[in-house]
Structure 1
Amino acid sequence: MDAIIAYRRDAADAVAVCALDDLVLLYHRRSGQTHMVISPVPEILAQLAAGNAMTPDMVHDALARDYDLGERTDAVAEIGAHLESLVALGLARRA
């Protein structure tokens, strides 16, 4: 059985956010790096902003309330890939 991985975001003040139309700039204070992202990354980070650890399935369910995400299995896999990318950038961490 695969382990279920949950993710969480650092404190709200760890990242400064600047939205420029469809592009969002994320300045990670600790690393001094600025990351340019587009949807669905800001929406995924917004779900993690509450501070609770969330699995890709939980993020999917929260986003599905407002967005048509398509086929669940594909969407959850894509969300999981985005979460792993956010971990690699230091913008999220495994719980």
Structure 2
Amino acid sequence: MTLAFPNPSRSLDTARNAVRFTGYDGMFEVAFLVDIGALVNSAPELFMSEPSETACLSAFDARRTSIYAAAAKAYSNGRRAPYILTAADIR
């Protein structure tokens, strides 16, 4: 099966300093985290001080296609959940 992202929901995980989202491989849910540092690199104007939840989720939405591509690539390299994506993973 291939990884799909039918559910566009995402949330800020302040404990992990990341945005959490899920993908699905058939009936299996796959957890992903995008490090806030990766989002800061993509939208530095949103993070002039402490990143807010709104700024983080907006930055995620702006890079959603790239994030999903990075998530699919990370997933294809082997199963380990949660997958943590960094700035190096997202182009």
User: TM-score under structure 2 normalisation?
Assistant: 0.30
User: TM-score under structure 1 normalisation?
Assistant: 0.29
Return the structure number with greater relative CO, CA threshold 8 A, min gap 6: 1
